[in-house]
């Protein structure tokens, strides 16, 4: 008999709607999984078991007096939110020891979408401090670890959510992506990760995001499961019905060019190139036409992106007496953001708008763009910060302070992520390769496909066509 956590999210959703599985049984099952595996993985910061079981009982009561067709889309489905997202009555830590950890007074719009859809939330997942990094490690809780190799990171900033989905602690999970924060952990954990285009998910708007970089998106084990979640994130677009259609034959440009190369020259790992080759083979076998695409990026991009990316942490309300509790990277980039003039930020934002225009003109020669998802295999826990430490957390006095070295490592690890956010485009990561040679063997490595505005359904169709 298939365990509930082994079922696709779509199959579990159908069982819950039909009444073949009760919400209390499903919720209890996943809470038990969290209880047994989270001590190793560090995927959850907070588990809200009592609230979840109360919600599950209410969902079962609703099921007893309703027809399946009258139930909300995600009736009884367990989910969790990364700990940057407010859930009413639950502490939002933002992954920071510098903040007072008080219960949130109201739900964030993203949470309201899932509650309205009938989902049951099980807790808050691990994140880097203020979501700034490509790894989910901080000073308040154990690091989030990769279920495929617990000595490795699950990525960031949606690293706890990705680890939870990959380990079967959740059927799927929403993440948020401002510079790769859905796609990086999806690639590291062997999941499908979709970043929708700018404005597709209205609940993703943020006042601390002057460049409008952030978009919520699904972390899932298949394109179909991701499509189901997209029907919640962007109601009315009918992604789940669209995904069953075969995509047209596409012209796909293949590139290794990155806007970070001028500042941080890098060489992709052999495993990244193997993943790219695997993706090319699958796409060609599906009937698509691939050719090399040389993309020229303005070398002013790294400074402009960093200025926009860190503006929010510069404006964060943190007591001066608690700033010493910030991680070195956060403290360094906060100080620099506060020292910049408003004119400098405006200049960076104007440049990024021009960068978007120039990049879209080059991408427009192709139906989709193809590149590796990551330039390196999932990194060891502590590798970015220089701690290389396998324990639960680092005391403030022992956390090394090389913020610039940390940031450089992140940009070399994920050099094809942030420009997609700047351009406002949809993109999907697909786990096409495993370093051990077979699915589930070794470490996952993936490809990224970037499409034009409005191509979310097409990207999901292609992922499904490739068998994911």
Q: What is the 3-state secondary structure (H, E, C) of 236-300?
A: CCCHHHHCCCCCCCCEEEECCCCCCCCCCCCCCCHHHHHHHHHHHHHHHHCCCEEEECCCCCCCC
Catalytic residue among 157, 417, 418, 455: 157
Catalytic residue among 23, 153, 154, 181: 181
**CA–CA separation, 119 and 73 (whole Å):** 8
* H helices present in 75-222, as ranges: 109-116, 159-166, 183-189
Report yes or no: 383 and 153 within 8 Å, Cβ to Cβ.
yes
Report yes or no: 183 and 189 within 8 Å, Cβ to Cβ.
no
Q: Which helix (H) or strand (E) holds 371?
A: strand 368-372
**Catalytic status, residue 321:** no
**Catalytic status, residue 261:** no
Q: What's the token pair of residue 447? A: 């490809």
**Catalytic status, residue 206:** no
**CA–CA separation, 25 and 414 (whole Å):** 39
Catalytic residue among 82, 115, 195, 409: 82
Q: What's the token pair of residue 465? A: 């066509």
Q: Which helix (H) or strand (E) holds 53?
A: helix 49-64
Which residues are marked as active site?
Answer: 82, 157, 181
């Amino acid at each position: 008999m298939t365990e509930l956590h082994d079922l696709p999210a779509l199959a579990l959703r159908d069982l819950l709607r039909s009444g073949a599985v009760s919400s209390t049984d499903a919720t209890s099952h996943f809470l038990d999984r969290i209880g047994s595996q989270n001590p190793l993985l560090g995927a959850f910061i907070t588990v809200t078991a009592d609230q979840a079981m109360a919600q599950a009982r209410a969902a079962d009561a609703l099921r007893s007096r309703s027809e399946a067709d009258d139930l909300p889309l995600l009736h009884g489905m367990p989910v969790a939110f990364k700990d940057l997202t407010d859930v009413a009555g639950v502490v939002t830590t933002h992954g920071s020891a510098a903040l007072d950890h008080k219960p949130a007074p109201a739900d964030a719009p993203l949470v309201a979408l899932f509650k309205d859809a009938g989902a049951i939330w099980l807790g808050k997942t691990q994140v880097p401090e203020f979501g700034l990094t490509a790894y989910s490690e901080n000073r308040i809780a154990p690091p989030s670890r990769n279920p495929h190799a617990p000595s490795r990171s699950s990525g960031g900033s949606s690293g706890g959510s990705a680890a939870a989905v990959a380990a079967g602690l959740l059927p799927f999970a929403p993440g948020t992506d401002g510079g790769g924060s859905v796609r990086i952990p999806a690639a590291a954990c062997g999941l499908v990760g979709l970043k929708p285009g700018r404005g597709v998910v209205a609940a993703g708007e943020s006042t601390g995001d002057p460049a409008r970089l952030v978009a919520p998106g699904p972390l899932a084990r298949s394109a179909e499961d991701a499509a189901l979640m997209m029907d919640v994130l962007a109601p009315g677009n009918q992604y789940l019905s669209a995904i069953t259609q075969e995509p047209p034959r596409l012209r796909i440009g293949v590139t290794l060019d990155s806007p970070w190369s001028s500042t941080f020259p890098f060489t992709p790992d052999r495993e990244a190139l193997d993943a790219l080759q695997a993706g090319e083979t699958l796409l060609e076998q599906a009937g698509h036409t691939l050719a090399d695409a040389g993309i020229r990026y303005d070398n002013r991009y790294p400074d402009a992106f960093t200025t926009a990316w860190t503006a929010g942490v510069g404006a964060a309300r943190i007591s001066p007496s608690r700033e010493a509790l910030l991680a070195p990277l956060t403290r360094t980039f906060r100080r620099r953001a506060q020292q910049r003039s408003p004119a400098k930020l405006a200049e960076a934002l104007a440049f990024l708008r021009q960068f978007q225009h120039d990049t879209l003109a080059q991408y427009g020669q192709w139906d989709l763009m193809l590149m590796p998802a990551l330039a390196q295999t999932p990194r060891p826990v502590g590798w970015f910060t220089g701690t290389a430490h396998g324990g639960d957390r680092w005391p403030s006095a022992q956390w090394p302070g090389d913020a610039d070295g940390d940031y450089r490592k992140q940009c070399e690890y994920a050099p094809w992520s942030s420009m997609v956010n700047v351009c406002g485009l949809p993109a999907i990561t697909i786990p096409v390769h495993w370093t051990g040679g077979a699915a589930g063997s070794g470490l996952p490595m993936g490809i990224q496909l970037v499409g034009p505005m409005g191509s979310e359904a097409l990207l999901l169709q292609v992922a499904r066509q490739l068998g994911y």
